[in-house]
Amino acid sequence: MPQNLTKLYNYAKNIHHFIKLSYLCTPMKTRILIGLFLPLVFLLSSCDPYQKLLKSSDYELKLAKAKEYYNNGACEKAIPLFEELMSVYKGTRDVENMYYYYAYAHYCNHDYVLASHYFKSFVDYYPRSNNAENASYMIGFCEYQMSPKASLDQEDTKKAIEGLQLYINQYPTGTRVDEANKLMDELRAKLEQKAYDAAILYYNVRNYKSAATSFKNLLIEFPDTKEQEEVMFLIVKSYHLLALNSIDSKKEERYQQAANSYLEFIDKYPKSKYLREAERMYNSSQLFLKQQKS
């Protein structure tokens, strides 16, 4: 029987013998179990091929295995190997390729924060590399992977847009420009949805002043929004409801805002499905304004 297996067998016998000693108190059992299992764990780990590889000084083998682990999706095993190899080969041409693998290994491991960081470092260290363009794209793409749903904070979404835009600026004819533009459209749509939801929330809780401001800002930030007709109508309605619920000293100003918003809306959408309700609010606003002048 191989020496390691013999040792394991002997440890197993000792543990079995311990279990039979039922008269021992619990604290003593715990101490003995720890004493028996720690060497067992050590022996098992020493038999692990990966642990042996980590302790090996055969760096060519380590590099081959690191790439093998990466290609097979076992990136958590590839990362420590690439870390050591980059230190060993520091100052040589080989490090560039290792660093690129290292960044991708973090991406493969779904650690997008570190992946984005290392792709950026790669671009900084090797700006003339053949892989620099793709690494630049991956900075923004990692941020894209961290972008949450529209109802949550959108800081990562904004970072992703900045990263992808930077890639496009640096490589306007790059191989992944079309892909980057599609991702940016998706990210902007998420920001638009966030802005729309916030404005609707203000409207629903009857904070009409904030609602009107938020709807107007939405049109400024997203002038091509598909919801433009509805948003422009809601600006009219928000100002009108704001005027209705205002103190007398504020009414004239706010009815005028409602009337002006209506004229902008009707100029853009003369056949809108909201036309009848919008006209009713405009007429109401005009009637109040005429009464103020008389």
DSSP track, 109-120: TT-HHHHHHHHH
Q: Does 150 share its domain with 268? A: no
Residue 171's pLDDT is what?
Answer: 98
Q: Does 127 share its domain with 231? A: no
CA dist 142 and 119 (Å) reads 9
Residue 215's pLDDT is what?
Answer: 98
Say what percent of the chain tops pLDDT 70: 84
Residue 33's pLDDT is what?
Answer: 46
100 in a domain, yes or no? yes
Residue 48 — pLDDT band, cuts 50, 70, 90? confident
CA dist 137 and 171 (Å) reads 9
Query: 218: part of which helix (H) or strand (E)?
Result: helix 208-221
DSSP 246: S
Please determine, for residue 55, whether its predicted confidence score (pLDDT) is greater than 90.
yes
200 in a domain, yes or no? no
Q: Does 109 share its domain with 37? A: no
Average pLDDT of the chain, as a whole number: 89
Interval 1-42: pLDDT, tens: 444 444 444 544 554 554 454 444 455 544 544 454 444 444
Q: Does 16 share its domain with 73? A: no
Please determine, for residue 59, whether its predicted confidence score (pLDDT) is greater than 50.
yes
Residue 294's pLDDT is what?
Answer: 73
Q: Give the distance, in angstroms, between the CA of residue 148 and the centroid of all CA atoms in the same chain.
A: 5
Q: Does 188 share its domain with 84? A: yes
- Give the residue among 174, 179, 89, 101 at the shortest CA–CA distance from 141: 179
3 state SS of 229: helix
Please determine, for residue 149, whether its predicted confidence score (pLDDT) is greater than 60.
yes
Q: Does 112 share its domain with 87? A: yes
> Of 139, 158, 192, which residue sits at a domain end?
192
CA dist 149 and 164 (Å) reads 19
The total of structural domains in the chain comes to 3
For residues 43 and 150, the model is more confident at 150
Q: Does 132 share its domain with 229? A: no
Q: Does 159 share its domain with 242? A: no
CA dist 261 and 134 (Å) reads 47
Q: Do residues 127 and 143 lie in contact, with contact meaning Cβ atoms separated by under 8 Å?
A: no
171 in a domain, yes or no? yes
CA dist 124 and 30 (Å) reads 54
Residue 71's pLDDT is what?
Answer: 97
Distant-in-sequence, close-in-space partners of 236: CB < 8 Å, separation ≥ 6: 258, 261, 262, 265, 278, 281, 282
Q: Do residues 192 and 218 lie in contact, with contact meaning Cβ atoms separated by under 8 Å?
A: yes
How many CB atoms sit inside 10 A of residue 228's CB? 16
Residue 19's pLDDT is what?
Answer: 47
Average pLDDT of the segment spanning 165-173: 98
> What residue numbers bound the domain in which 11 lies?
3-47
198 in a domain, yes or no? no
Average pLDDT of the segment spanning 104-119: 98
Q: Does 26 share its domain with 152? A: no
